[in-house]
Amino acid sequence: MSTQTVVITGANAGLGLECARNILAQNDSWHIVLAVRDVKRGAAAVEALGTADRCAVMECDLASLQSVGAFTRAFAAADLPPLHAVVCNAGLQVVDGTQFTADGVEMTFGVNHLGHFALVQGLLDRLVAPARIVVVASGTHDPAKFTGMPDPNYTSADQLAHPDAAAPADGRRRYTTSKLCNVLFAYELDRKLGQGARGVTVTAFDPGLMPGSGLARDYSAVGRFFWRYVFPVMRVLPNVNSTSTSGARLAALAVDPAFAGVTGTYYEGRKAIRSSKDSYDTARALDLWDTSTRLVEHVTA
């Protein structure tokens, strides 16, 4: 019988689906809420998992703060076991041009950071200690690591949300910057929650390079070919993983007793490491937090 609930964003495919699969296999006390943009794909994922009695699909479009708000209200009204974990997993990478969310925020920043910020704020009062929040980041946030991606460029959260229309779009850099935002958010959230004093822990997770995941959907045809067929051969290299391997590691951070009480920590797979120098910048973290709060309140007021 399920006695505790975990919410996983983007759980209908890739890393999120593998995380859900591993949690269901590890412990039959967990009920999974698949927070997804497309409920039909979510239903197909539940069918693939084969445990419909321990899963619920709920619509949550991170590109719309109204949708996120509707999700948190629907979750509060649902007859579900107590909430003990939230996995902020969903993400995207817009390679070409500039796209915007329903709220007029640059899409990569809006989905990868702001939507999750709003989701966590809306679920905090529902969390029952001991509880965990895991934020999926990426090693690409760290300029000290060679990832083949451009270095992040955190100017201000307001500029990230509303980029200068005259400036050239750089989708890959916007992605790495959004991953820096994920780590800044995780650390600031941990500080706001008393660094575990309230019984809620926060960790950030780098799943590594996962060839075959959905992040390449906006690449060119050639880029998608390499991502799907060539990059998987690279799994012999450090921190290049299958979605199954990374999904198991993400699931462990969310529910494994071995990680109970661990907070304010950045993980590369199952190994705790230092994140980038900029990720420990508390001034940037506060700028991100305050701007995100203002953006969310402006829409939901």
The secondary structure of residue 12, as a DSSP letter, is T
Catalytically annotated residue among 175, 187, 266, 267: 175
Tokens standing for residue 275? 């994140």
The residue type of 267 is Y
Residue that has been written with the tokens 């084969």 in this structure = 50
Q: What is the dihedral of CA 72, 78, 79, 83, to 10 degrees?
A: -10
Angle CA 77–202–71, to nearest 5:
25
Rounded CA-CA distance 254/207 in Å is 13
Angle CA 158–164–167, to nearest 5:
135
Residue 140 three-state SS: helix
Tokens standing for residue 261? 């009480």
Task: Give one DSSP letter per residue of 218-282, joined into a string.
Answer: TS-HHHHHIIIIIGGGGGGSTTB--HHHHHHHHHHHHH-GGGTT--SEEEETTEEE---GGGG-H
* Exposure on the CB side of residue 248, measured as CA atoms within 13 A: 6
Q: Give Cα 130 to chain centroid, integer Å.
A: 20
Residue that has been written with the tokens 């925020």 in this structure = 105
Question: Around Cβ 261, how many Cβ atoms within 10 Å?
Answer: 10
Question: Does residue 175 carry a catalytic annotation?
Answer: yes
Nearest to 147 by CA among 231, 243, 219, 228: 231
Tokens standing for residue 12? 């209908």
Active site residues: 175
